[in-house]
Amino acid sequence: MEYLVQQNITHLVKQRNSIFDRDDARRKYTLRLQARGAIEQFVSVEHDSGPFKLICDDLKPGNIVVDPETLDIVALIDLGWTYAGRYQFLFSPPPWLMLEDPVMWNSDSVASYKARLTLFLKFLREE
């Protein structure tokens, strides 16, 4: 988790088009520091050494090809952010519920995400 947060900090610092202005830079940097501070809540010592699972952080409707006749998934595309991650990562809520990058969220987005997450979990339990 620390590595993933550091990747995002490095991206913010090194990629010139990652910010729009001073306020945007401050907000994005603050979000990354908050993520670093919350790592303990997402890490289980029990699964610290595996098992490892294939995880794709960019699995959203636009990256799934479906057969229109059978509605079967026939392909996954854009697997550039796929990696072997710790088992506990599978229990992280999906950021794609907002169809917006989490670094672009504001306080209204957080409330909207919580509402969508509640609905997502309801349907997941039903399924």
Give pLDDT, residue 75: 95
Identify the sign of the CA torsion 41, 45, 47, 52: positive
pLDDT at 107 over 70: no
Give the largest CA-CA distance in the chain.
Answer: 50
Separation CA 109–CA 121 (nearest Å): 18
Enumerate the β-bridge partners of residue 52.
Answer: 86
pLDDT class of 103 with cuts at 50, 70, 90: low
pLDDT at 111 over 90: no
Report whether 29 contacts 12 (CB < 8 A).
yes
Look up the pTM and report it: 0.49
